[in-house]
Amino acid sequence: MQPYQRDFIELALARDVLRFGEFTLKSGRQSPYFFNLGRIDSGAALARLGEAYAAALVRAQLPVDMLFGPAYKGIALAAATAIALATSHGRDLPWAYNRKEAKDHGEGGVLVGAPLAGRVLIVDDVMTAGTAVRESLALIRAHGATPAGVLIALDRQERGQGDLSAAQEVARDHGIPVIAITGLDEVLAYAGERPELASEHARLLDYRSRYGVSA
């Protein structure tokens, strides 16, 4: 596990982003864990999260021209990543986000920020079945730009529509990589190291055997 991955899991536990229990997912699956990035609710926590996203992107060495944050959660995440790339990695990339509803006055339209152009990296929170990401891919293409990849905090590494994970399906169907700060694999590895998380670790293993894919 990379230091930024460990730091991110520790941040997630400290801020109750990562919680264990019984959760119903958007897909309808019952999960023993849930990641809520909405709990990153202070400046210092958001800065730390942005550093983790930036570190994951730099490690992946993916060439991108700009960042796109899908409304709503992706907006703050793309902003935090753009700041971390500029301040910690010397890369000042343009960034943009969308509105959920088109504005018919002022500057109008659904996009705010830099015009979508070149290779666009989508920055979002969690991928389970990949529904949210597919909407962003369509939006980027509709504006004549090229999706370059997807950067997320957590890849739940669950089966999507077939035997592949949603991230693997996006890679296959759209020819772009999905880069995650962490996946279920890292959450499992972290929980496996902590005696106090032994029962959570067992439930995660059981969940993975039902819905997971091998990375």
User: In terms of Cα–Cα distance, which of 16, 85, 87 is closest to 45?
Assistant: 16
Of the pair 25, 47, the CB lying nearest ligand OMP is at: 25
User: In terms of Cα–Cα distance, which of 128, 178, 172 is closest to 148?
Assistant: 178
Q: Which stretch binds ligand OMP (CB under 6 A): 112-120, 122-130, 142-150, 170-178?
A: 122-130
Q: Are strands 109-113 and 95-103 parallel, antiparallel or unpaired?
A: antiparallel
Q: Which of 6, 19, 25, 94 binds ligand OMP (CB under 6 A)?
A: 25
Is residue 184 near ligand OMP by the rule CB under 6 A?
no
Is residue 131 near ligand OMP by the rule CB under 6 A?
yes
In angstroms, rounded to a whole number, what is the distance separating the alpha carbons of residues 156 and 169? 13
Label residue 170 exposed, middle or buried (CB < 10 Å: 0-12, 13-18, 19+). buried
Binding string, residues 37-66; x marks residues near ligand OMP by CB under 6 A: ------------------------------
Helices assigned H by DSSP within 1-40: 3-14
Q: Which of 7, 13, 20, 27 binds ligand OMP (CB under 6 A)?
A: 27
CB of 126: closest distance to ligand OMP in angstroms? 4
In angstroms, rounded to a whole number, what is the distance separating the alpha carbons of residues 203 and 88? 37
**Binding site per annotation, positions for orotate:** 34-35, 128, 156
Please report, as ranges, the residues that interact with ligand OMP according to CB under 6 A.
25-27, 34-36, 125-132, 166
